[in-house]
A and B are shown apart, each in its own frame.
Chain A
Amino acid sequence: MSDFFSTLLDELPQVGAGLWVTVQATVLGSLLALLLSFALGLAAGSRLLLVRGVSRTVVEFFRGTSLYIQLFWLYYAMPQLTGYELTPLLCGVVAFGLNYGAYGSEIVRGAINSVPRAQYEAAVALNMTPLHRMRKVIMPQAWVQMIPSFTNLLIQLLKCTPLLWLISAADFMTTIEHIRSLTGETLTAYLLLLAVYFVLAYTLTLLMNLLERSAKRRLGLHTGGRSLFRTRTAEAVTTAGGTR
Chain B
Amino acid sequence: MATEPAPLEKTAAAAVDPLHTGVEPLVRFDKVVKRYGDHVVLDELDFSVRRGEHVTLIGPSGSGKTTILRLLMTLEKVSDGVIWVDGSPLSHVRGPDGSLKPAGEKELRRSRKKIGMVFQQFNLFPNMKVLQNITEAPVNVLGMDKDEAESRARELLDLVGLSGKVDAHPSQLSGGQQQRVAIARALAMRPEILLLDEVTSALDPELVAGVLDLLSDIARTTDITMLCVTHEMNFARDVSETVLMFDAGRVVESGSPEKIFTDPEHERTREFLNAVL
Contacts and interface: CB of A to CB of B under 8 A. Distances in A.
Q: Please determine if A and B sit in direct contact within the complex, based on CB atoms under 8 angstroms apart.
A: yes
Interface of A: 118-119, 121-130, 132, 136-137, 140-141, 218-221
Contacts of B129: 220
Given A136-B136, A220-B170, A124 B73 contact: yes
B163 interface: no
B75 A124 contact: yes
A125 B121 contact: no
Contacts of A130: 105
B261 interface: no
Interface in B125-178: 125-129, 136-137, 140-141, 168-172
Contacts of A123: 125
A204 B159 CA distance: 48
A220 B169 CA distance: 5
| Chain B binding surface SS class | loop
Contact of B140 (A136, A140, A141, A219): A136
Contacts of A126: 116, 136-137, 141, 185-186, 189
B244 to A, nearest CB: 22
4 nearest A-B residue pairs (beta carbon): A220-B169, A122-B123, A126-B137, A140-B127
B51 interface: no
Given A124-B73, A126-B141, A220-B126, 11 more contacts: A118-B119, A118-B123, A119-B123, A121-B75, A121-B119, A124-B74, A125-B116, A126-B116, A127-B113, A140-B127, A219-B127
B109 interface: yes
| Chain A binding surface SS class | helix
Contacts, number: 72
Q: Which of under 10, 10 to 19, 20 to 34, or 35 or more describes the interface residues of B?
A: 20 to 34
A218 B127 contact: yes
B170 A128 contact: no
Contact of B109 (A118, A127, A140): A127
Given A124-B74, A125-B112, A221 B171 contact: yes
A141 B126 CA distance: 8
Contact of A137 (B74, B109, B113, B125): B125
